[in-house]
Amino acid sequence: MGKKYYLATVLGILVHCMLYAQPGNLQSSLSATTPGFNPDSLIYKDTINKKNFFIISAIVINGAKRTKSYIIERELPFKTGDSVVLNELVQKFELARNQLVNTRLFIDVVVSLKGFRGYLVEIQIDIKERWYLFPIPYFKLADRNLSEWAKQGYNLQRSNYGAKLAWYNFTGRNDKLKAWFITGYTRQIQFSYDQPNADKSLKHGYGINLSYATAKELNHTTTNNEQRFIPIEKSFNPPDSVSGLFKGQVLNEQFNFMVSYTYRPAIKTRHSFRLSYNTNRIDEAVAKVNPRYFTNDKRFIAYPQLDYTIDYTNVDYVAYPLKGFMGDAGFTRRGINKDMNLWQINAKGTKGFQLAEKTFYGLQAYGVLKLPFDQPYYNQRLFGYGDLYLRGLEKYVIEGVAALMVRNTFRQQVTGFNIPFSLSGSHSSIPFRVYAKAYGDMGYSYNKSFPQNSLVNRMLYTAGAGIDFVTLYDVVFRFEYSCNQLGQKGLFLHFKNDF
């Protein structure tokens, strides 16, 4: 698609501009078909600004079998009756496609001109919907990444398994229903529902989440930049103890109930508010090894938590952004007394630049601050957890109460190809894009309370090169060879894009 697609759009419009350039044709065509149209105002703008205006007379959507048409139209930067000039129309087509792709509802989107009469244009949107229902078996390693699992001896007993139901686009309004039962090394029951388009204006939404989990092993502290675990054999629980819904010994038991509210005033910006009630219980063995796991030598805590986030998205593809900007900022208030007292602010931004036809540069920055600085171990997770890490330091965890991280990545698209796949009409092939990349990261973590790790309170640097495979359903396979300032090198595999 790309440049050829937009060049065809421009040429098509220019030809019809030449055929229908007389003011008489413009006025008669528009006033006859467009309610509330004022021809005098359009001629005024055309005369003073020297622009040719087009009126969107219809938007035709093809391929939406489950998704409601108004959900698709919510993502468009134009609507029926809008007047636009030539260069704006081409730009809006690109923005409309990006917005629809970033809903993660469709595997392919084409926005084009269906036809026009005079200066009246019809826009056609062709989509291919994803599969939305995934009742699948569940299997995942209990460790935070493959490197940590390898460190534990490639033990398959350190895995979780069960059943997981994920139903995206549940009612055709981009809502999500999730429910799963997981057992194995850790155990979890969870139910959640998210409805981002709850009212007629499609600006307000809500969500609910309920989860209960237990673990047979717990990371009780960090020394020498590595997690230290207490296995169940060191628990003080009796062998036949029963913990909640699950029988057997457990070192940790957690409960969470959360409600959320979202407000999306425009297509690129969203505000999210989350209020939750949480409980967390640890075994006596954990408290004995690390009395500061919770505050005041506690073994059980219950606390409310309030989160607010504002996010902005304007990129070509949110799962693997090459062009544009996306970012978020927020704050967290965890607890209301001395047993749990945390204020946190954080922000993250990602900016992508196109340097040449298939060459891209990306910059990502992340910062977090936790107050007061004197926090228990439970509130000090930073680098090495989830998506927050420096490439080349995946083997380590770095705790702290304040941090800054910057990632730089150069990407060159090497090739793109499709593998035939005839299981269904909407999935006739599986596309792959392959990128070669080089990168460099830097970060800093401040830790006042647990300084027994060499990577805290110092600047950190890593670099490397790799290959990314991008395919359906936002799946990114990343093969990276990284080195760090400790002189260590290694090959790392990741199954999603963290930039």
Q: Among 37-51, 155-169, 410-424, 430-444, which is the least confidently predicted range?
A: 37-51
pLDDT for 205 equals 98
pLDDT over 60 at 22, yes or no: no
In which band, very low, low, confident or very high, does the pLDDT at 390 lie, cut at 50, 70 and 90? very high
In which band, very low, low, confident or very high, does the pLDDT at 80 lie, cut at 50, 70 and 90? very high
Mean pLDDT of 20-36: 35
pLDDT over 70 at 251, yes or no: yes
How many of the other CB atoms lie within 10 Å of CB of 154? 10
CATH of segment(s) 2-129: 3.10.20.310
pLDDT for 32 equals 32
User: Do 216 and 233 contact (CB within 8 A), yes or no?
Assistant: no
For the whole model, what pTM was predicted?
0.84
Q: What is the CB-side half-sphere exposure of residue 217 using CA atoms within 13 A? A: 17
pLDDT for 21 equals 40
pLDDT over 70 at 4, yes or no: no
pLDDT for 238 equals 44
pLDDT for 150 equals 73
How many of the other CB atoms lie within 10 Å of CB of 15? 10
pLDDT over 80 at 56, yes or no: yes
pLDDT for 276 equals 98
Mean pLDDT of 476-489: 96
Mean pLDDT of 384-403: 92
In terms of pLDDT, which residue wins out, 25 or 336? 336
For the segment 95-140, what is each residue's pLDDT rounded down to a tens digit? 999 999 999 999 999 999 998 888 899 999 999 999 999 877 777 7
User: Do 195 and 204 contact (CB within 8 A), yes or no?
Assistant: no
Mean pLDDT of 233-238: 54
pLDDT over 80 at 451, yes or no: no
For the segment 425-444, what is each residue's pLDDT rounded down to a tens digit? 667 788 999 999 999 999 99
pLDDT for 420 equals 86
Determine the Cα–Cα distance for residues 193 and 259; give it in Å rounded to an integer: 10
Q: Among 308-312, 336-340, 405-409, which is the least confidently predicted range?
A: 336-340
pLDDT for 225 equals 92
pLDDT over 90 at 422, yes or no: no
Determine the Cα–Cα distance for residues 112 and 107; give it in Å rounded to an integer: 17
Mean pLDDT of 468-472: 94
Mean pLDDT of 263-276: 97
pLDDT for 304 equals 98
- Using CB atoms within 10 Å of the CB of residue 439, give its burial: 0 to 12 exposed, 13 to 18 middle, 19+ buried: buried
B/e letters for 406-418, b = 16+ CB within 10 Å, e = fewer, are ebbbbbebeeeee
pLDDT for 242 equals 36
From residue 186, how far is each of 96, 212, 215, 359, 428 by CA, in Å? 42, 11, 4, 43, 38
In terms of pLDDT, which residue wins out, 28 or 283? 283
According to the 3-state scheme, what is the secondary structure of 377-423? HHHCCCECECCECCCCCCCCCECCCEEEEEEEEEEEEEEEEEEEEEE
- Tokens for 411? 């990407």
Q: Among 9-23, 56-70, 208-222, 418-432, which is the least confidently predicted range?
A: 9-23
Select 133-391's CATH number: 3.30.70.20, 3.40.190.10, 1.10.760.10, 2.40.160.50. Answer: 2.40.160.50
- % helix, strand, coil for the chain, step of 5: 15, 50, 30
In which band, very low, low, confident or very high, does the pLDDT at 87 lie, cut at 50, 70 and 90? confident
Mean pLDDT of 408-414: 98
* Cα-Cα-Cα-Cα dihedral sign, residues 90, 91, 92, 95: positive
Which residues lie closer than 8 Å to 487 by C-beta, 6 or more apart? none
For the segment 111-123, what is each residue's pLDDT rounded down to a tens digit? 999 988 888 999 9
pLDDT for 51 equals 66
Determine the Cα–Cα distance for residues 331 and 346; give it in Å rounded to an integer: 6
User: Where in the chain do CATH 3.10.20.310 domains reside?
Assistant: 2-129
pLDDT for 199 equals 95
Share of the chain above pLDDT 70, in %: 82
In terms of pLDDT, which residue wins out, 1 or 158? 158
Q: What is the DSSP string of 51-112?
A: --EEEEEEEEEES-SSS-HHHHHHT-S--TT-EEEHHHHHHHHHHHHHHHHTTT-EEEEEEE
User: Where in the chain do CATH 2.40.160.50 domains reside?
Assistant: 133-391
Determine the Cα–Cα distance for residues 429 and 438; give it in Å rounded to an integer: 29
pLDDT over 50 at 43, yes or no: no
User: 3-class SS at 447?
Assistant: coil
Determine the Cα–Cα distance for residues 182 and 476; give it in Å rounded to an integer: 25
In terms of pLDDT, which residue wins out, 402 or 31? 402
For the segment 342-367, what is each residue's pLDDT rounded down to a tens digit? 999 999 999 999 999 999 999 999 99
Share of the chain above pLDDT 90, in %: 62
pLDDT for 67 equals 97
pLDDT for 424 equals 60
Q: Among 50-54, 132-136, 487-491, which is the least confidently predicted range?
A: 50-54
